Structure 1
Amino acid sequence: MSFSMGPAILFCPADRPDRYAKALQRADAVIIDLEDAVAAGDKETARQALLANPLDPQRTIVRVNPAGTEDFAADLTAVRQTAYRTIMLAKTETLDDLAAVSDFNVVALCETALGVINAPQLAAAPNVVALMWGAEDLVASLGGSSSRHDSGDYRDVALHARSQVLLAAGAFGKLAIDSVYINIPDHEGLLAESIDAQASGFGAKASIHPGQMPVIRQAFLPSAEQVERATRILAAAKDAAGVFTFEGQMVDEPLLRHARATLARHASTTTP
């Protein structure tokens, strides 16, 4: 089964089935969240809502509670009664965690110190289809109080984790998903961070509010100028042998790969 996972992915609380369809309408993929978005006393109600309100399984991820917890076992029992076969495993840390969900495609959520350190091992697991990192849970696991400076920029430890997860995903050909931007009204900051995510190699960005969807899509969609320039660079390469100069810039194979990637992103957003 093919699965569409980006670029704009939206979390939706599992105990709010009235939001399920709306979330999927706004997003490229939706994460029905049985973990942080649901209070401890509402977990079973959330699981029943998950069962009673099915969505397109090709565009739906279910976030389950961390491996080894009572809620994790109950979550899997529920998900196995649905058509969903892609889950996000909260606080993924070890290969044993992944072994417990070997019958699912897994988005490994690296949001603890151990999970980030083990990101390369997790990315290599055959049932892992994507990696995502989580800033606030990570800093909390270290005993810290905030992943960002007052300016809104990430602290160094968060940037390190972000890079570690991206590199691990890239090393094993898995999708990398950037963490959420929690300052909901700040679309300018979200746009800047999303542009950086795309330019760095993330294939998608998760979010917590439907109003963030157009901003993320804008960041991941190549501009007309970028498409036009990539087209001209690749056209010029057909008549060149090896490295060549294009409008004052040296062009070699890495830059040609950038150009091909730009056109591929453009095609993926314009093809029905």
Structure 2
Amino acid sequence: MFMRSMLFVPADSPRKIEKGLGSGADAIILDLEDSVAASAKEAARGIVRGVIADIAGRKADVLPRIYVRVNALDTGLTAGDLKALEGLKVDGIMLPKSEGAASVRRLSAMIGAIEPAEHRGETRITVVATESAKALFGLGSYESAGPRLEGLSWGAEDLRTDIGARDNRGADGRHTEPFRLARSLCLFGAVAAGVQPIDSVFPNFRDEAGLRLECDEALRDGFTGKLAIHPAQVPIINEMFTPSPEELARAQAIVDAFARAGDAGVIGLDGEMLDRPHLVHAQRLLARAGR
């Protein structure tokens, strides 16, 4: 399932969680990591457990997918985060500071120990895959991460700290070269692994024009969704990452034309010569729209 928007919500704030549930996001991420102070993590786990148990009684068709961002594997907190979810159905876990397929396999085994028997294997994993210099060298490994892996995203703030950069954006507001490299490698790693590439957050939630520009650049380059940090960003992200009726009609026309042509490698459509890459692109666009 493609997720256009994934909204981070502090796990220790029931009010913000409820607002997130009604935001229109395709997924909300109950954040037990950066949004929660160390002294509040245990209480936040209890809130998350209560929220997920409550959601189980609501109509699924009016709710976003529910993800939980756990603390990184090297913190010693991940097992406790997952223990709070034992026996509950959760759509997915977001793993920060992943370093490659081995991180995902380790987390997957931990999820298997707390997952309800009737939903065995259903919990998916999305990782933030660029938060250290070391992590960049693991981006080619995710193809072997296993069937739970659903998406790769990237982050600039922790990477900035790790490499000692003064900033991660230039005067024009765009990411500087080291971070654009991380972004590109994340895109390539996700596509190579056959999972969804999800663009990072745009931190200035009041800058609608800047968000639209960053969404447009992400779409241009191949990302199919974006992380959000505020409910106000969700409608714009959803709009930008929803294929237009014209795009869908064109894609369907390409798929239909190839179907009529049988086993042709090249076809003509509306005066344009199209080959197999055009067909694959059209099929992927239709898949994003659930067609």
TM-score (norm 2): 0.82
Change (3 A) 1:17 1:118: same
- Asked if residue 107 in structure 1 is aligned to residue 130 in structure 2, the reply is no
Out of 199, 221, 225, the residue aligned to residue 242 of structure 2 is 221
Which residue does 1:7 correspond to in 2? 4
- Asked if residue 143 in structure 1 is aligned to residue 140 in structure 2, the reply is no
Q: Distance in 1 between matches of 2:221 and 2:46?
A: 39
Which residue does 2:188 correspond to in 1? 167
Q: How many residues align?
A: 265
Which residue does 1:45 correspond to in 2? 43
Which amino acid in the other structure matches residue 44 of structure 1?
E
State whether residues 13 and 33 of structure 1, in contact with CA within 8 Å, keep that contact through their aligned partners in structure 2: yes
Query: Percent identity at matched positions?
Result: 37
Q: Distance in 2 between matches of 1:257 and 1:94?
A: 27
- Asked if residue 88 in structure 1 is aligned to residue 94 in structure 2, the reply is yes
Which amino acid in the other structure matches residue 126 of structure 2?
V
Give the deviation of 1:239 after TM superposition: 5.2
TM-score (norm 1): 0.87
Out of 7, 28, 31, the residue aligned to residue 30 of structure 1 is 28
Q: Which runs of 5+ in 1 are unaligned?
A: none
Q: Distance in 2 between matches of 1:84 and 1:44?
A: 19
State whether residues 221 and 266 of structure 1, in contact with CA within 8 Å, keep that contact through their aligned partners in structure 2: yes
State whether residues 123 and 130 of structure 1, in contact with CA within 8 Å, keep that contact through their aligned partners in structure 2: no
Q: Distance in 1 between matches of 2:169 and 2:70?
A: 26
Q: Distance in 2 between matches of 1:227 and 1:106?
A: 29
Give the deviation of 1:160 after TM superposition: 0.9
Change (3 A) 1:183 1:248: farther
Does the residue aligned with 1:73 lie in a helix, a strand or coil?
helix
Q: Distance in 2 between matches of 1:131 and 1:217?
A: 18
Does the residue aligned with 1:12 lie in a helix, a strand or coil?
strand
Which residue does 1:243 correspond to in 2? 266
Q: Which runs of 5+ in 2 are unaligned?
A: 112-123
Q: Distance in 2 between matches of 1:49 and 1:81?
A: 15
Q: Distance in 2 between matches of 1:256 and 1:96?
A: 34
Out of 17, 20, 30, the residue aligned to residue 20 of structure 1 is 17
Which amino acid in the other structure matches residue 252 of structure 1?
D
Give the deviation of 1:192 after TM superposition: 2.1
Which residue does 2:84 correspond to in 1? 78
Q: Distance in 1 between matches of 2:250 and 2:50?
A: 49
Which residue does 1:183 correspond to in 2? 204
State whether residues 5 and 59 of structure 1, in contact with CA within 8 Å, keep that contact through their aligned partners in structure 2: no
Q: Distance in 1 between matches of 2:92 and 2:189?
A: 20
Q: Distance in 2 between matches of 1:74 and 1:97?
A: 17
Out of 216, 221, 224, the residue aligned to residue 203 of structure 1 is 224
Change (3 A) 1:262 1:117: same
Does the residue aligned with 1:68 lie in a helix, a strand or coil?
helix
Deviates more, 1:108-117 or 1:239-248: 239-248
